[in-house]
Amino acid sequence: MPVVFNLIADATTETERGVAMGLRGTMGTAGSAIGVLIFMNIAGAFSVAFSLTLFGVFVLVFVGVLLSYWKIFVS
């Protein structure tokens, strides 16, 4: 959490900081809600073990995509 606060503090002016922190909170809450709804539906249709495995695979793929993007466009 402190890393996010430092990123927001470094990337925004003092007047923008309130909006940026509000967006951070909103996105965190929305992401949690979407994750719970998806996990709940997959676990209900199949099993908790399958749902956790699928989520783990999704996270690994997402990290791979982010790393690729970072290497291509940011570095």
**Nearest alpha-carbon partner for 11 in 2, 20, 1:** 20
Between CA 61 and CA 42 the distance in angstroms is 18
CB 21 within 8 A of CB 28: no
Please tell me whether the overall predicted TM-score, pTM, comes out greater than 0.75 for this model: no
pLDDT in tens, 12-58: 888 888 888 888 888 888 888 888 888 888 889 999 899 889 888 98
Which residue, chain included where needed, has tokens 């002016």? 13
Look at the alpha carbons of 33, 37, 42, 48 in this order and tell me if their dihedral is positive or negative: positive
Total of domains in the chain: 1
pLDDT in tens, 49-62: 998 898 889 889 99
CB 50 within 8 A of CB 42: yes
Domain that holds residue 53: 2-74
